[in-house]
């Protein structure tokens, strides 16, 4: 049986790697991002490997756009029963410099987006008596200088995950969160630019702080997501898995 999966923020980075991995595992994958055209490379990678994918443009913080996107996916790929809420942005700054817009935008994309997507997809999961929700948190949920908005959003993702697990478990739906540590992506490249540091130097510095001695890659997160989305993970729900190369708390 082919499952239909939605991965948000899947044009690049962790989202792209996760979409490609789920397709390799046999899912039909909706590659969702703000700009539909930006999803082309991920879709191409999936189809070149013999998989099935659909590019979908939608603002996950817009309820009408989310509803329309999920309806389109259900019509074109099949009812979605796997959801990976990965879409996110950063607007880093120290508290006294952070604007209300910086706060609202980050919370809206990460947390409101995950809520809206989960609400839209859960009806398909409940109808199927089977579902998987994976929310992307972060080690920043434990606190990180210059990221009051991002840290709050990522901590919120953990609370949302545990509540979804409680509410949806009786319908055969699991919900889990992944909290990545330092992963080499465009987002961490932007962090290095904000700090005025060369990216290679930044990666080398961060890797020294990781017990396993290297920075993480998007495929490391995709592997964890693949487990949570698997049949074998049916008794794992409401958990937060730190994929960070070593202890974080």
Predicted confidence at residue 195, as pLDDT, reads 81
* Tokens encoding 11: 């044009």
* Chain-centre distance for alpha carbon 40: 18
Q: Which strands form 52-57's sheet, in the order they lie side by side?
A: 52-57, 28-33, 4-8, 80-85, 131-136, 173-180, 240-243
- C-beta separation of 78 from 47 below 8 A: no
* Tokens encoding 201: 């130097």
Note down pLDDT in tens along the chain; length 249 residues. Answer: 899 999 999 999 999 999 999 999 999 999 999 999 999 999 999 999 999 999 999 999 999 999 999 999 999 999 999 999 999 999 999 999 999 999 999 999 999 999 999 999 999 999 999 999 999 999 999 999 999 999 999 999 999 999 999 999 999 999 999 999 999 998 888 888 878 889 999 999 899 999 999 999 999 999 999 999 999 999 999 999 999 999 987
DSSP 8-state secondary structure symbol assigned to residue 3: P
Nearest CA among 139, 145, 51, 135 for reference residue 98: 145
Residue 133 to residues 165, 230, 231: CA-CA distances in angstroms?
A: 9, 11, 13
Neighbours of 127 (CB within 10 A): 12
SS3 53: strand
Predicted confidence at residue 37, as pLDDT, reads 98
Which residue's entry shows tokens 């009786």? 170
Predicted confidence at residue 192, as pLDDT, reads 84
- C-beta separation of 4 from 30 below 8 A: yes
d(CA 179, CA 10): 17
* Tokens encoding 96: 């006294």
Q: What is the CATH number of domain 4-181+216-243?
A: 3.40.50.720
Predicted confidence at residue 32, as pLDDT, reads 99
Which residue's entry shows tokens 């840290």? 151
Q: Catalytic: which of 103, 150, 202, 228?
A: 150
How do strand 173-180 and strand 131-136 relate by DSSP bridges? parallel
pTM over 0.85: yes
Tell me, yes or no, if 171 is annotated catalytic. Answer: no
């Amino acid at each position: 049986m082919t499952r239909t999966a939605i991965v948000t923020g899947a044009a690049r980075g962790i989202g792209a790697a996760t979409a490609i991995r789920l397709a390799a595992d046999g899912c039909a994958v909706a590659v969702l991002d703000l700009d539909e055209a930006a999803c082309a490379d991920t879709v191409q990678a999936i189809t070149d490997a013999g998989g099935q994918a659909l590019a979908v443009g939608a603002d996950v913080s817009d309820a009408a756009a989310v509803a329309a996107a999920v309806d389109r996916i259900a019509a074109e790929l099949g009812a979605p029963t796997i959801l990976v809420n990965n879409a996110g942005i950063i607007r880093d700054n120290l508290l006294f410099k952070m604007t209300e817009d910086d706060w609202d935008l980050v919370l809206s994309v990460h947390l409101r987006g995950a809520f809206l997507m989960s609400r839209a997809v859960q009806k398909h999961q409940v109808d199927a008596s089977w579902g998987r929700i994976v929310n992307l948190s972060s080690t920043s949920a434990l606190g990180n200088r210059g990221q009051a908005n991002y840290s709050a959003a990522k901590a919120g993702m953990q609370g949302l995950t545990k509540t979804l697990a409680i509410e949806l478990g009786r319908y055969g739906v699991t919900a889990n969160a992944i909290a990545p540590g330092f992963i080499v992506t465009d987002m961490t490249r932007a962090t290095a630019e904000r700090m005025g540091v060369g990216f290679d130097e930044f990666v080398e510095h961060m890797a020294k702080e990781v017990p396993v001695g290297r920075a993480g890659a998007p495929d490391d997160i995709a592997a964890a997501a693949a487990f949570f989305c698997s049949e074998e993970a049916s008794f794992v729900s409401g958990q937060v898995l730190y994929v960070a190369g070593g202890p974080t708390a």
